[in-house]
Amino acid sequence: MSATSALLRRLLPRTTSISHQCRRYSINAATSAGSSIRPKREYSTPLAEQLTQAIQTTGPIPLAFYMKQCLTSPASGYYTTQKSADIDPFGKRGDFITSPEISQMFGEMVGLWIFTEWMRPQRKRDRVQIIELGPGRGTLMSDILRTLRRFKSFSDTVESIYMIEASPHLQEAQKNLLCPSDAEIIEVGNNGLRCMSKYGIPITWFTDLEDVPATDEKSPYIIAHEFFDALPIHAFQATENGWREFMVANKDPATIITSGTGKAKAVDDEFTLALSKARTPHSMVLPELSSRYRKLSTHPGSIIEVSPESLAIMETIAKRIGMASSGAALIIDYGPSETIPVNSLRGIRQHKIVSPFSKPGETDISADVDFMALADRAINAHEGVEVHGPVEQGAFLKMMGMKERLDSLIKGRNGEDETVKGLVRGYNRLVETGGGGMGRIYKALAVVPERGGKAPVGFGGSVE
């Protein structure tokens, strides 16, 4: 492990430790708060109360800690707690809809990309593992496996599938979709679960990529769709006195509205960002990780967003591919192609952009992906890998043959048929590049074994 990697690991406590930390803060804050008489305040969510009390006790917290608690806190996180028996975050009834939910063709193109990468003669392995990070409801993996089943020469080599998922509720949804109803579930490894899929390939669920066995005897094909955007970020601003970190603070008490009953009721946003007055441990380390950041240090007012967890995971991905000298990784997410993300933190609820500081634990929070930072980390992690892209999602899907797939699906059918209309709408939504079209905003990035710069299919290359 490199010195930088070791440093990142020390800066990245696991979710459970952060959760325990916040719970400890909450207990201490509640004890001290109970000694004074004040109107009882109402909170938008249970997590809002926990975070408020933690900040009262310890002071403002890093944005990354806030983001991680909101998304994956075991007791109150957006992804780790069930909203209701019949509602999940995805789809029209949820908060947002992802590309695999929009059209089956998206997953088919991803499955085809895996197959074309495996077809390269110098990189074939007779033992393959497919790994998906943040699998959602399992729709993408279902479409991938359905597509790959058409290529028996490849599907026969797939020995195992790994799903990296922190939410037990989403794990359950994935098992329901991918495994028979009577499939036996067994415990494996470090808190892992395994069952036989409908496709005759065992699927194993872990919460951490590090738990997946790494070997140079199998080709790892790793998919990360809308995964990195949900990983915590730290935000910094350059000042005359060095980098300062943006911290999450409680809003001024003056913003708390007292109701006629004598109780205090919180406004929508119970938190705000505040720039630290002094250097923080993160501000002394993270802006030094890249020359891209260091160049901005002499320009006061410059803002950068850094996701150390994203960098650590990308390093793990690159090392697995480099060690095996085979396999590939495909990352599809949203963010700028070359620039450093700035002020990109957003909340999403019921398909609308909202404040990331409203209803914590009930609002999805995400931030733009720094694709150049991921590319740099992959290249520096192992000399045996290359990075291609990012390319716009619309271009990637078209190069993979999505238009031809659409034509084959609607061939001979009435253009007024609702199924045909749905397929065309889905295609257009995924590839459109005008305005805020998904085809432009979303990007694709590939990590492949070193091969002299020959681009993969979908990135300007062709099948050899």
The DSSP result for 318-341, as a single string, is: HHHHHHHT--EEEEEEES-SSSPP
Backbone torsions φ then ψ of 400, nearest 5 degrees: -80, -10
The per-residue pLDDT for range 31-45, each reduced to its tens digit, is: 333 444 455 668 888
| DSSP assignment letter at 359 | S
Q: How confident is the prediction for the chain on average, in pLDDT? A: 86
- Say what the pLDDT of residue 42 is: 80
Q: Which two tokens stand for residue 461?
A: 């290359």
Average pLDDT, stretch 116-139? Answer: 86
Average pLDDT, stretch 62-83? Answer: 86
Q: Which two tokens stand for residue 442?
A: 């979303």
- Say what the pLDDT of residue 32 is: 34
Report the percentage of the chain scoring pLDDT > 90.
68
* HSE value, Cβ hemisphere, 13 Å, CA-based, for 187: 2
pLDDT-based confidence at residue 216 (cuts at 50, 70, 90): confident
* Helix pair 63-72, 46-58: axis angle to 10 deg: 150
CA angle centred on 434, ends 370 and 230, rounded to 5°: 30
Torsion of CA 62, 65, 67, 69, to 10 degrees: -150
- Say what the pLDDT of residue 22 is: 39
pLDDT-based confidence at residue 437 (cuts at 50, 70, 90): confident
Average pLDDT, stretch 168-174? Answer: 91
Evaluate whether 398 touches 431 at the Cβ level (below 8 Å): yes
Q: Say yes or no to pLDDT of 207 above 50.
A: yes
pLDDT-based confidence at residue 95 (cuts at 50, 70, 90): low
The per-residue pLDDT for range 378-395, each reduced to its tens digit, is: 999 999 999 999 999 999
Q: How far apart are CA 181 and CA 202, in angstroms?
A: 14
**What are the sequence ranges of the domains in the chain?**
3-81+234-306, 99-231+309-335+370-449
Look at 25 and 263; give whichever has higher pLDDT: 263
Please state which CATH class domain 99-231+309-335+370-449 belongs to: alpha beta
Complete edge-to-edge strand list for the sheet that includes strand 352-354: 352-354, 346-349, 364-366
- Say what the pLDDT of residue 123 is: 54
Q: Say yes or no to pLDDT of 204 above 60.
A: yes
Look at 93 and 342; give whichever has higher pLDDT: 342
